[in-house]
C-alpha cells in the first residue's frame, strides 16, 4: 500500500515522502514501534515511492508517493521486484548470516530495473549476532543507490553499533478510529465489530485481528453491563449478579481477563469524558451515549478507584486466583 493510501502515521510518512522527493533519505533506517501497526507496510510504501514509474505528489506538492498501479509498484507489493529485497526470519525463527551476505552482495550492484535498491529486513531483532556484525559495514557506508530498512518492534535487541549507524523512526500505536477504519475497509468487519475490536487493540491492527472479533464484542458488552449494574445499585446482591454477567460463559482465565481489560478501557473513557477532553481520545467513541449515562454515577474518585480495582484483579488472575472470586471482588469494588 502506498504512502497516500495508508491510514495513520501521517507525519512520519510525509517525512519519508519529502525525503524521497528531495533525494535526502538516509540510506540506513530503522522503523521501530509496536507489532501490527504498519511498519513493514511503510517500508514497502517507501520502496514504491523510490521506484514508482509514475510517482504522485504527496502530501500536496512537498513529497512523492508510489502510484500503486504501475508495474513497479505492483511487483514490489508482490515481492518480485528485482531491486526490492525482503529478508525475513527463516524457519529457525532467526535471520542467519547467509541471508544477510546474499543481500549485501546483491546490493553492491546497480539497481536492475528501478532507481533505488531497497533491502527490507523484517523482524530485524531476530538477526543473529554474526549477521548483525556482517551488516555493520554496509550500514555505515551503503552502496550508492541502496537503502536499508530494518523493521522491528524490539529495537533494543539490536546491537548498539547497528542502532547507531541507522536513523531510527519510531512509529506509534494507531488511533482507535484509524484501526476501526482499516478493519472496516480492508478486513470487511461491520462497524460495531470493528469499533469494539479497535478499542481493545492498543492501536495495533494485528492485535485487533488476532483478538477474535466475536469474543471482543461479547467482552465489551459484558463490561458495559457490569458498569451499568454497578452504577444502578449499591446492593451487594445486585452487584454479585453483575459479577455473574461478567464471568458468565467465560470459559477460562483468558476470557475473564479480556473482559476485565474491556472494563478498563471503558473506565479510561469515563475519565476522558469527566476531564472534558477531546472526543478523539475515546477508545469506545461509538458507546458515548452509554458512557455519558454512567457519568451520573461515576465521579473522578470512583472512576479511579474502579480502574485500580480492575488492575488489581488482572494481576490476581495472573497469579492464578479463581476467576469467580476475582469477578465477585471486582463487582463489589467498582
- Is 66 among the residues that bind Zn ion (CB under 5 A)? yes
Residues paired with 57 in a beta bridge? 64
How far apart CA 83 and CA 142 sit, in angstroms, is 15
* DSSP label of 118: E
User: Closest separation between CB of residue 69 and Zn ion, Å?
Assistant: 6
User: Closest separation between CB of residue 52 and Zn ion, Å?
Assistant: 3
Nearer of residues 52 and 294 to Zn ion, judged by Cβ:
52
User: Closest separation between CB of residue 175 and Zn ion, Å?
Assistant: 28
How far apart CA 94 and CA 51 sit, in angstroms, is 29
Residue from 44, 67, 121, 230 that binds Zn ion (CB under 5 A)? 67
Window of 12-20, 73-81, 119-127, 207-215 that interacts with Zn ion by CB under 5 A: 73-81
Nearer of residues 68 and 176 to Zn ion, judged by Cβ:
68
Are 115 and 145 a contacting pair, CB within 8 Å? yes
User: Closest separation between CB of residue 266 and Zn ion, Å?
Assistant: 44
User: Closest separation between CB of residue 74 and Zn ion, Å?
Assistant: 8
Nearer of residues 70 and 281 to Zn ion, judged by Cβ:
70
Restricting to residues 223-282, name those near Zn ion by CB under 5 A.
none
Task: Write the DSSP assignment of 204-248 as a string of letters.
Answer: -HHHHHHT-HHHHHHHHHHHHHHHHHHHH---HHHHHHHHHHHHT
- Is 118 among the residues that bind Zn ion (CB under 5 A)? no
User: Closest separation between CB of residue 62 and Zn ion, Å?
Assistant: 19
Window of 10-18, 58-66, 243-251, 294-302 that interacts with Zn ion by CB under 5 A: 58-66
245-247-251-257 Cα dihedral, nearest 10 degrees: 130
Look up cell 555493520; give the residue: 136
How far apart CA 43 and CA 76 sit, in angstroms, is 11
Are 310 and 260 a contacting pair, CB within 8 Å? yes
Nearer of residues 36 and 66 to Zn ion, judged by Cβ:
66
Phi/psi class of residue 108: alpha, beta or left (left: φ > 0; alpha: ψ in -120 to 50)? alpha
Q: What is residue 65's three-state secondary structure?
A: strand
- Is 5 among the residues that bind Zn ion (CB under 5 A)? no
Window of 46-54, 138-146, 181-189, 315-323 that interacts with Zn ion by CB under 5 A: 46-54
Nearer of residues 36 and 55 to Zn ion, judged by Cβ:
55
User: Closest separation between CB of residue 21 and Zn ion, Å?
Assistant: 14
User: Closest separation between CB of residue 5 and Zn ion, Å?
Assistant: 12
Residue from 70, 175, 271, 274 that binds Zn ion (CB under 5 A)? 70
From start to end of the chain, where are the E strands? 28-32, 56-57, 64-65, 84-87, 117-121, 146-152, 167-170
Nearer of residues 16 and 100 to Zn ion, judged by Cβ:
16
- Is 114 among the residues that bind Zn ion (CB under 5 A)? no
Residues paired with 28 in a beta bridge? 148
Nearer of residues 6 and 263 to Zn ion, judged by Cβ:
6
User: Closest separation between CB of residue 54 and Zn ion, Å?
Assistant: 5
How far apart CA 184 and CA 199 sit, in angstroms, is 14
Contacts of 149 (CB under 8 A, 6+ apart): 29, 30, 31, 43, 46, 118, 119, 120, 121
Residue from 14, 73, 189, 303 that binds Zn ion (CB under 5 A)? 73
- Is 52 among the residues that bind Zn ion (CB under 5 A)? yes
Nearer of residues 66 and 176 to Zn ion, judged by Cβ:
66
**Residues within the interface to Zn ion (CB under 5 A):** 52, 66-67, 70, 73
Amino acid at each position: 500500500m502506498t504512502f497516500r493510501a495508508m491510514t495513520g502515521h501521517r507525519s512520519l510518512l510525509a517525512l519519508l515522502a519529502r525525503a524521497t522527493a528531495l533525494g535526502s533519505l538516509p540510506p540506513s533506517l530503522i522503523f521501530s514501534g509496536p507489532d501490527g501497526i504498519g511498519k513493514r507496510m511503510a517500508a514497502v510504501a517507501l520502496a514504491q515511492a523510490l521506484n514508482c514509474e509514475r510517482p504522485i505528489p504527496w502530501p500536496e506538492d512537498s513529497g512523492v508517493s508510489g502510484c500503486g498501479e504501475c508495474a513497479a509498484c505492483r511487483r514490489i507489493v508482490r515481492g518480485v521486484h528485482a531491486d526490492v529485497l525482503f529478508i525475513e526470519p527463516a524457519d529457525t525463527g532467526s535471520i542467519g548470516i547467509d541471508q544477510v551476505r546474499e543481500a549485501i552482495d546483491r546490493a553492491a550492484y546497480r539497481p536492475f530495473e528501478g532507481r533505488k535498491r531497497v533491502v527490507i529486513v523484517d523482524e530485524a531483532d531476530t538477526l543473529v549476532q554474526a549477521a548483525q556484525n556482517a551488516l555493520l559495514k554496509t550500514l555505515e557506508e551503503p552502496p550508492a543507490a541502496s537503502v536499508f530498512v530494518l523493521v522491528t518492534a524490539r529495537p533494543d535487541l539490536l546491537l548498539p553499533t547497528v542502532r547507531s549507524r541507522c536513523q531510527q523512526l519510531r512509529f506509534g500505536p494507531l488511533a482507535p478510529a484509524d484501526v476501526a477504519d482499516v478493519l472496516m475497509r480492508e478486513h470487511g468487519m461491520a462497524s460495531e465489530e470493528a469499533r469494539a475490536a479497535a478499542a481493545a487493540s492498543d492501536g495495533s491492527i494485528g492485535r485487533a485481528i488476532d483478538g477474535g472479533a466475536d469474543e471482543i464484542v461479547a467482552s465489551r458488552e459484558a463490561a458495559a453491563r457490569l458498569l451499568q449494574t454497578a452504577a444502578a445499585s449499591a446492593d451487594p446482591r445486585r452487584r454479585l449478579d453483575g459479577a455473574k454477567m461478567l464471568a458468565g460463559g467465560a470459559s477460562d482465565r483468558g476470557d475473564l481477563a479480556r473482559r476485565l481489560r474491556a472494563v478498563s478501557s471503558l473506565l479510561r473513557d469515563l475519565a476522558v469524558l469527566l476531564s472534558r477532553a477531546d472526543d478523539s481520545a475515546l477508545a469506545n467513541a461509538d458507546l458515548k451515549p452509554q458512557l455519558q449515562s454512567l457519568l451520573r454515577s461515576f465521579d473522578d474518585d470512583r472512576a479511579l478507584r474502579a480502574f485500580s480495582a480492575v488492575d488489581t484483579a488482572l494481576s490476581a488472575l495472573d497469579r492464578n486466583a479463581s476467576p469467580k472470586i476475582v469477578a465477585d471482588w471486582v463487582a463489589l469494588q467498582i
